[in-house]
Chains A and B, each alone.
Chain A
Amino acid sequence: MIDISESVMQFLLASIVAGPLLGAAAALLPAPPGLKGKSPEQAVLRHGVTVTGVILLAAIVLTLGFDHDHPSTMQATTDITWIKALDVRIHLGVDGISLPLLLLTALLAFLCALYSYFKQPQGPSPRAFVALLLVLESGTLATFAVLDLVLFFLAFETVLVPMYFLIARWGGEGRQAAAWKFILYTLLGSVVMLLGLLLIGVKAGTFDMVALATDNGRGLTTSVQVIAVLAIGIGLAVKTPMWPLHSWLPDAHTAAPTVGSVLLAGVLLKMGTYGFVRIALPITPDGMRTFAPYLAAFAVAGIIYGSLACLALARPGNKGDLKRLIAYSSVGHMGFVLLGIATMTPTGVNGALFANIAHGLITGLLFFLVGALKDRYGTADLDTLAGATGAALYGRAPRLGALLAFAAVASLGLPGLAGFWGEMLALFGAFEPAAGLSRPAFLTFMAIGAFGTLLTAAYLLVVVRRVCMGGPRPAGETALADVQGYELAAWTPLVALTVLAGLWPAVLLGLTDPAVQQLLAGGTK
């Protein structure tokens, strides 16, 4: 959109990845004179806002400087040797697939830092909190920006330790067990993924993702591709998470602090699906074709499973936790993303990428809202919240109620909001899967997936009815604070983008579509 020289773009991308790391190191040092603020806590939280804000600005400038006429070419690329022995290069770059994810990550991290500045997390010193948040941001951004398989693995692993500590230290009830489950599960997956990545590297002689994608699997025999996709797929599927490897997710979400849940759902899960699109599809297409029907089957199983679990949690008397409910809804939504990827068609993959972003925005917002509810009520237990007739948020805190209802209908895929396009395109892709994939099977998956959207609508409407509506309030009830200024500041961008992406999907699809076409076609285009 605006013309920025290549070297500035390179610098921007490199600083987006490395900036938060430096910020994390700086957070551990005492504040310099003049920046001490009211207290050390306040100073370090403000430091977090500043750093994430600068990174967000850099990401926005990068987006503006991105050549939107050629989203399929890698831009702002840096390619320098790092470890010659392993042939690992610091290869960074963005294209239409990674740019939206980078932007989403930078945005959510900034909003989280902003939210924590006004609402200090409950737990030990905020110094470590900010440092961990920044390391987490750096790892996630690096995952979306690197173009080297080993570096991808490194970035993938970087988020584990910070997230572990965020859950174990600042989390709620059952945090220790949840944090352990999270890190051991994901590490087991990513070690298996490493074996797959190494297999590709050893057999193809390079770890460079661009070269491998251009090669489009021609340098790898089908059996190698099958093993590699199996190994890599398991690692990514744990992260995504794909049913039946999802069991770490509900616990982690329930126990994590609000900010942790937002980042976990908003961006960490996307690392899994991004890996499928960036690695499995272009580098090992034959292996992917072998597993695509299974992936799709697991995906629709996840859609149905997630919705049924949510329906059960939403029923009165089941003591359903709202955070757990949204976590299960994530399993369902990520099921649509995986279904889109499994179709191996441009339509499906575009839908998957769109749903990725939409889920990040909407679920991020939902977790913020539920976190706010939990702060006000002291619990996120649906039965306690709703009581006999319902929590009547519309009456007691109208803006909070309205926002919750908005996020819920966005999540169920109301046309005109972001949640709609991704899931529709994914189902569309399944209607006509790529050549070589069984159409009847995918038609069945499509039908099941479509049924899943109905179930999704059902449980979200139940939640809205029980939380937002309700009978007349008993007299003498303590007043409930409505949306505060800082909350509005943290949530408005998410609301606005949800509407924007819903009304003008071309903003996103225009970026992803050329890149997806090129990825699926390999180096031929």
Chain B
Amino acid sequence: MSPETATAAAPSLVQSVDWLAIAPPTLTALVALVVLVADLFVPAARKQLLGWTSVAGLVAAVALLVPLREGDRSTFCLTADTQLRACSYTADHFTLVIQFLVLGGALVTALLSIADTRDRLPAGEYWFLLLSSAAGAALLPASRDLATLVVALEVASLPAFALVGLRRGDRMSSESALKFFLSSVTATAVTLLGVSFVYAATGTLHLTEVAQRLGDVPGQLQTLAQTGVVLTLVGFVFKTAVVPFHFWVPDTYVGAPLPVAAYLSVVGKAVGFTGLILVTVVAFPSYADVWGPALAVLAALTMTVGNVGALRQASTRAWSAVRLLAWSSVAQAGYLLVPIAAAAYSGDDQIGATVAYALMYAVVNLGAFAVVAVVARTHPENRIADHRGLYAAHPAAALALGFFLLNLAGLPPGIIGLFTKVTVFSAAVDAGLGWLAVIMGVNVVIGLFYYLRWTALLFRGPEGETVRHRAPAPVTVAVALTAVAGVVLSGYPQLALRFASNTLF
């Protein structure tokens, strides 16, 4: 203990809160409440207003990230004297990037759902649930203690269950919500158990302190600490939909309204891997020899199972488009895990590769869902075969979807997809995980097959006449937004890849 802190006067128990630092998630939560209350007073004809309020709130929340860009703020810090400054909320670069991803993803989801809330979904509830979930997801990357982390995880997930089941009078929707709910709650309970074990073994909840004290846990508590570490990971692994916790994904995505599926595939996954990064790299670095190999094996399994699942989707089956995207999102989660596993071997600089990959994935996956939503308006069955001849009906949408899919596959012209894959490969090679890199290579080839098969279908001659159908403006905006983001990133990949080159914490 340094003499300065020992002699300092007794600190005040009342903390000053850095409101600006916590503004992005807070604003999102506030707008959620406003929308919920306003729903009671807005006449049915004006419900559209709620949607636009939510969009505006999300745009404002994204804008609030700008003044924080230095990445040096933190709040809710321990006032007690400790060797390490331990804060519960930190807005460092890692936090800001993930918050940007989450809020941006929620924004695109909101644009996609404006048309749906007009007729098919209850507006007030929908916007409240979406924004609350987004608020939780935005809080999660900033959390630096296990309690906040679990709370944020729950805030992000609980509204998601309701969102999945929101399609009124649809049996499949409620069934998938129940499936999602039961499996997710079990996973969270396990995480909670793990957290309590870790707390019991170390006596602290703050991640940095956990990291420090895990190193010298007394002998009789070793087993407890190890069990705690493993159990804590389970909940986050579940959210990321890592094999063997991926069974809920296809059914849930198909049952959920399309925008919600898009939301789950991007923001839900972001919640999972962010939590995973925080607990592994920040809290449990001393157990790297436990979680490193485990994550590497899980990554290999996840990408393989996901790709094989996607490969097996017959294009004429109902909902095959969403099913394929669901399985492909499982496979992509495998790629996201690779740098985290690599971090166990060669330091936490590797995490940047996951972040860069997640940014690319968020943009192109949301874009793909947006185009699927455009097609779903004329073909509610949502089959891949429905996309045949899309180029003849909607040239721009077809080009955009082709670009998104090739990005997911990682082939030019999807340059950003290619380069983020290169960084992931590079992380694996750097960490000496050659076997994992080879498995990933094989998986990239499998992935190409189904992505390109779909892409080729877009440009085939249409069967029968093409019906030109105007897509609603917000959906068009969503497609345009993601397409422009993808093209800009492809021209200047440094925008995303800069996170891969320096440490984020």
Query: Hey, which bits of chain A sit against chain B, CB under 8 A?
Result: 82-86, 88, 124, 128, 135, 139, 150, 153-154, 157-158, 160-161, 164-165, 168-169, 180, 183-184, 187-188, 191-192, 194-195, 198-199, 201-202
Contacts and interface: CB of A to CB of B under 8 A. Distances in A.
B445 A164 contact: no
A195 B419 contact: no
B186 interface: no
A179 to B, nearest CB: 9
A180 B445 contact: no
Interface of B: 352, 356, 406, 411-413, 415, 418-419, 422-423, 425-426, 429-430, 434, 437-438, 441-442, 444-445, 448-449, 452, 456, 459, 461, 493-494, 497-501
Contact of B429 (A85, A86, A188, A199): A199
18 contacts: A84-B498, A85-B501, A86-B419, A86-B423, A86-B501, A158-B412, A160-B411, A164-B452, A168-B456, A188-B445, A191-B441, A191-B444, A194-B441, A195-B425, A195-B438, A198-B426, A198-B429, A202-B430
List the 9 shortest-distance A-B pairs measured between CB atoms, nearest first. A85-B501, A85-B497, A191-B441, A158-B412, A198-B429, A188-B445, A83-B494, A83-B493, A198-B426
A194 B425 contact: yes
B429 A195 contact: yes
B104 to A, nearest CB: 20
A84 B422 contact: no
B459 A128 contact: yes
Given A82-B494, A85-B501, A124-B461, A194 B411 contact: no
Contacts of A184: 445, 448-449
A198 B425 contact: yes
Contacts of A160: 411-412
B441 A192 contact: yes
A192 B437 CA distance: 9
A84 B494 contact: yes
Contacts of A187: 411, 444-445, 448
Given A168-B456, A191-B444, A85 B494 contact: yes
Contacts of A150: 419, 422
B497 to A, nearest CB: 4
Contact of A165 (B423, B456, B493): B456
The listed residue with most B CB atoms (<10 A of its CB), out of A184, A188, A198, is A198
Contacts, number: 94
Contacts of A128: 459
A187 B409 CA distance: 11
Nearest to B493: A83
A201 B422 CA distance: 12
Given A83-B493, A154-B412, A194-B441, A202 B422 contact: no
B430 A195 contact: no
A157 B418 contact: yes
Contact of B445 (A84, A135, A153, A191): A191
A157 to B, nearest CB: 5
Contacts of A195: 425, 429, 434, 437-438, 441
B411 A202 contact: no
Nearest to A195: B437
Given A124-B461, A139-B412, A183-B448, A84 B501 contact: yes
A161 B442 contact: no
A180 B442 CA distance: 15
Contacts of B423: 85-86
A183 B442 CA distance: 13
Contacts of B429: 195, 198-199, 202
B500 A85 contact: yes
B431 to A, nearest CB: 10
Contacts of B419: 83, 86, 88, 150
B497 A157 contact: no
A82 B493 CA distance: 8
Contacts of A201: 426
A142 B40 CA distance: 61
Contacts of B493: 82-83, 85-86
Contact of B422 (A86, A124, A164, A192): A86
B348 to A, nearest CB: 16
A183 B418 contact: no
Given A83-B419, A124-B461, A195-B434, A188 B501 contact: no
Contact of A188 (B412, B441, B500): B441
A195 B442 CA distance: 12
Contacts of B442: 188, 191
B311 to A, nearest CB: 12
B223 to A, nearest CB: 38
Nearest to B500: A85
Nearest to A124: B461
Contacts of A157: 411-412, 418
Contacts of B445: 184, 187-188, 191
A86 B500 contact: yes
A30 to B, nearest CB: 11
B127 to A, nearest CB: 37
A232 to B, nearest CB: 13
A86 B502 CA distance: 11
The listed residue with most B CB atoms (<10 A of its CB), out of A139, A150, A165, A191, is A191
Contacts of A192: 438, 441
Given A161-B412, A195-B441, 7 more contacts: A83-B497, A85-B498, A85-B500, A164-B452, A191-B442, A194-B422, A194-B425
Contacts of A83: 419, 493-494, 497
